[in-house]
Amino acid sequence: MKNTKLIILVGAAAVVALAVFLLMRSGKKDYIAKEVDLKLNLTAGQSVKLRRTQRVDIKEKKLMGISFDYKLELDYTITCKSVKPDGTMFVEQRWDAGRLEGSGRKGDLKWDSTKGAQIVPQQAKLYSKLVGKSIELEVTPSGEVLEIWGLEVIADALLYQAGIRPGNDLTEEEYMDYQKMKVEELKNTLEYVLDPVIDGYPEQPIQPGDTLDVIDTGIITSSLGSGMKLIYKGLYEQNACFEVAMTVTGSAGSPIRIAAAEEERQEKREGKGEIEVNAQTGLIVGAEVTFNYDIHRKIYDVLLQKRKEETLEGEIAIIIKRL
C-alpha cells in the first residue's frame, strides 16, 4: 500500500513538473486584467539601466548578392536628476557601451567599445560616437520634451556616420555649419530623443483590449516617426504588456545627401511582438519585436559619377531588457 501511494505521489509530482516545464516552454504569461494609468513618473536619483539588441539578417535580391548577418548591442542608462513640483523631470540619457558581431558587405564585423582603439564598421559608427556621451532633457509626465541640452553630441554622431567630419574635405568652420544645421533638424524631433519613452502617454487610464496608436521613437524600428499599434493585454508583475502591430512604409521624394553620394530609398517593414512598460515609471523596460524588411535603394556616387540600385530583404529583431 505504501509503495502504491509512493508511486502515485511520484507520478503526480512528475505530472506537475511536466506541466510547469511545458508552461515555461510555452512562453505564455498570465496577465492580470487591470486598468493602468501610464505616465512618465521618475523620482530624483532614480536610475534604470537597459540593453537594446538588434539582430539583423538581410540579403540582397540577386544572385551572389551581399548579405548582412549581425548582432548589435547598446547599453545605456536613464537617470532622473531632479523633479519640479508640477512633476516635470530633468532626465539624463547616457550611452554606456556598445558591441557588434557578425558579417557584412566587407566580411566579418566586430566592434566592442570597451576594447580601445579599433576600426569601426559602418553599422556601429553612430553608436561608437555616442558611447560615453550623454544628453539631458526636461520632460513632462505626458512625455512632452520641453528642452534638451547636448544635441551637438547626437549631431556629431550622425555626421560621423554619414562620413562628414573635419579634414581634407571640410574646414573646421564648414563642419560647424553642418553641425548647426543638424542640431536645428534635431530640435524638430525632440520627442524622439528619449529612447525608452512611448510617444504620447494616454490621457486616461487604459483597459485590457484598448489600442494605442503611437509614434516609434526609433528604438524599435530604427525609423523615427514610424507608426505602431499597441494593444494592451494586462499587467504582468510590475509591467503593462502590449501586443505590437506595426507597418512602416516610406520613400525619399528628393535625394538624401550622404557624404559623396546621393540616395533615394523606398522601404517597407511589417512586424509584431510585445513591449513591456513599467507601470510605475512609464519606461519601456522590455520588448521583443520582429519585422520583415524590404528596401529598395538608388545610389549615385558623386565622385565616381556612377549609379547603382539594390533591393534588400530579410528580418530584423529588436530585443530590449533591463540590466
**Burial letters 176-195, b for 16+ CB under 10 A, else e:** eebbeebeeebeeebbbbbb
DSSP, residue by residue, 114-137: GG-S-PPPGGGHHHHHHTT-EEEE
- Mean pLDDT, rounded, for 226-239: 88
**Between residues 168 and 244, the one the model is more confident about:** 244
Spans of all domains in the chain: 28-322
pTM: 0.78
Q: What average pLDDT is seen over the chain?
A: 81
- Mean pLDDT, rounded, for 215-232: 69
* Confidence class for position 46, pLDDT limits 50, 70, 90: very high
* Residue 269: predicted pLDDT: 77
pLDDT at 224 over 60: no
Residue 171 phi/psi, 5-degree rounding, is -80, 170
pLDDT at 4 over 70: no
* Confidence class for position 179, pLDDT limits 50, 70, 90: very high
* Confidence class for position 251, pLDDT limits 50, 70, 90: low
Helix (H) or strand (E) holding 73, with range, is: strand 67-83
Pick the CATH number of 28-322 from 2.60.120, 2.30.30, 2.30.230, 2.40.30: 2.30.230
- Mean pLDDT, rounded, for 224-252: 81
* Confidence class for position 261, pLDDT limits 50, 70, 90: low
Helix (H) or strand (E) holding 44, with range, is: none
* Residue 245: predicted pLDDT: 87
Choice among 42-56, 174-188, 279-293, 298-312 with the minimum mean pLDDT: 298-312
Strand, helix or coil for residue 161: helix
- Mean pLDDT, rounded, for 109-138: 91
- Mean pLDDT, rounded, for 166-173: 83
Radius of gyration over every alpha carbon of the chain, rounded to an integer in angstroms: 23
pLDDT digit string (tens) for 159-168? Answer: 888 888 888 6
